[in-house]
Amino acid sequence: MSLNFPGMNPYLENPVLWPEVHAWLIVQLARTLNPVLQPKYRAAVEQRVYTDALLVGIPDVSVVQAQSPQRLAPTTMATLSQPIKVTLPMPEEVRETFLEIQQIGTGQVVTVVEVLSPKNKRPGEGRNQYNAKRLRVLESRSHLIEIDLLRAGEPLPMSGNVPSDYRLLVSRACDRPEAELYPFNLRDPMPQLPLPLQPSDEEPLIDLHQLLQDIYAAAALESVIDYSQQPTPALTEADFAWVQTLV
């Protein structure tokens, strides 16, 4: 089955699949950009590591779901003969990859390319770490590209934002605090992104839609997606009916 979505395939957002899609996308971006960037620049895959709390044995997405406190039926300690089993959050080492466009010879970071993960879009250490990194880049002379292909979670801070399913952000160092936002929804084509470099350089275009099509085929993702079921997170009934006309 070919990937017929004009923009984002919502089934790739599944928290079980997304870490793999994220890893593929960072590597494919580097593979695609390096032949265009050389001999002046190279796209280097970098990573940050931090510790987060995860409920062991429970899917990561469930950590953010609010749970109502359970009330015990009236009883006495004498009749409570068996303990209640509970699950405790355990520390989890998290590794998130991103891309740096580095000038060959000097190592200067010209542009940072980030693909957001679910942890970056909900309260917790993942969002705290990413926000701190984001502010460091925005205070520097490096450009920032921020790719948000996840409907779930809280968008990263910016003023002038419009409600949309997905967001692509290009922050040029010379234009801050203003930046270029490319919002789009499920049924919209995915915009191509310019990659800002130094002022005298031509800006390559990043075709994210084509990259995702290539990843879909290379990773054999068709074999693990059931298009007859709602994706995770679920779509509105109208959008799900539209999806069924494509697959």
What are the structural domains of the chain? Answer: 10-53+91-244 (3.90.1570)
3-state helix, strand, coil in the chain (%, to 5): 30, 25, 45
The secondary structure of 145-206, three-state, reads EEEECCCCCCCCCCCCCCCCCEEEEEECHHHCCCCEEEEECCCCCCCCEECCCCCCCCCCEE
pLDDT in tens, 173-219: 999 999 999 999 999 999 999 999 999 999 999 999 999 999 999 99
Gyration radius from the chain CA atoms: 21
CB 13 within 8 A of CB 61: no
Q: Give pLDDT tens digits for 50-80.
A: 776 554 443 444 333 434 445 555 555 556 6
The CA distance from 213 to 225, in Å, is 14
pTM, full prediction: 0.84
In degrees and rounded to multiples of 5, residue 87 shows phi and psi of -115, 130
**Backbone phi and psi for residue 166, each to the nearest 5 degrees, phi listed first:** -135, 155
